[in-house]
Amino acid sequence: MDTGNGALSEIAEHVLRRLGAEVYVINNTPNGENINLSCGSTNPNLIKELVIQTGADIGMSFDGDADRIIAVDEKGNIVDGDHILAICATYLKKENRLLNNTVVGTIMANIGLKRYLSEIGADLVYTQVGDRYVLEEMRRGNFVIGGEQSGHIIFLDYNTTGDGLATGLHILEVMGKLNKPLSELNELMTSYPQVLVNAKVRNDLKNKYMEFEDIRAKVYAIESEFKGKGRVVIRPSGTESLVRVMIEGENEDVLKKYAGELAKYIENRLS
């Protein structure tokens, strides 16, 4: 585990040892200044290395305030929030506990998650980016699981916010109940390439990009090229004078081309 020199620096190891696990921990010595400092869930390469060195079955990397987790399978592959949702939803559906056969994700969720859920007879409902919006939709629709690619996962039967340690325990439960290694569970869904490019724009125009008919036409033209196998997501930054352009599909080189062109076009129109 990498506890990010944060809130789980003591309790996470204690909990897992009580459950009978052999535990290796890094970044569990907070000093008031080193929380999330080149460690934790935003720097998962550290836990990848530890998993490979120790031969562990799973790696768990938490952020400092402990509401997020990025996992690593026994082969060193990243298991992000989208894959965690796929894994846990699979188990919940098998146990007839996936209420309304629906998972809640944000507009940044990988299209591979929606495709996989569709294959198992479940749906993915999208919200704005932010776990507060995920929670609101879960409550509105009476859904039990939702989250973000970044590792905020909410299990509404237990909590109303993301809890990295609880999510890690849920993953362990699925591994145990299904008797499968995390690497096999991680392959349930296939992630498609995503390319994100920022467009610098005037702050007073960053929320008005879709009011421009020519920008809408550009987006429609790109999505038409994908023939249902890709999508364009544009959203304004909440803190900067930026519009974020995310394009997702099967060919990363094509995505980079379209994302760069669209971001440049938006910059020219809104700057």
6 in a domain, yes or no? no
16 in a domain, yes or no? yes
The total number of structural domains in the chain stands at 3
Please report the sign of the dihedral spanned by the C-alpha atoms of residue 160, residue 165, residue 166, residue 168: positive
Examine the domain organization and report whether 178 and 203 are in the same domain. no
Predicted confidence (pLDDT) at residue 271 exceeds the cutoff of 90: no
Examine the domain organization and report whether 118 and 179 are in the same domain. yes
Whether 147 contacts 134, CB under 8 Å: yes
Mean per-residue pLDDT, 219-225: 94
Please report the sign of the dihedral spanned by the C-alpha atoms of residue 37, residue 40, residue 46, residue 50: positive
CB atoms inside a 10 Å sphere around CB 66: 22
Tens digits of residue pLDDT in 175-214? 999 999 999 999 999 999 999 999 999 999 999 888 899 9
Among the candidates 186, 202, 222, a domain finishes at 186
Q: What is the CATH number of the domain that holds 87?
A: 3.40.120.10
Residues linked to residue 155 through DSSP beta bridges, in sequence order: 145
Instruction: Report the first-to-last Cα separation within the chain, whole angstroms.
Output: 45
Examine the domain organization and report whether 54 and 89 are in the same domain. no
Among the candidates 79, 95, 127, a domain finishes at 79
CB atoms inside a 10 Å sphere around CB 142: 10
The amino acid at 49? E
Residue 207: give the domain boundaries.
Answer: 194-270
Q: Checking phi first, is residue 123 left (phi over 0); if not, alpha (psi -120 to 50) or beta?
A: beta
Examine the domain organization and report whether 65 and 155 are in the same domain. no
5 in a domain, yes or no? no
Tens digits of residue pLDDT in 128-186? 999 999 999 999 999 999 999 999 999 999 999 999 999 999 999 999 999 999 999 99
47 in a domain, yes or no? yes
Distance (Å, whole) CA 14 – CA 10:
7
Among the candidates 30, 45, 79, a domain finishes at 79
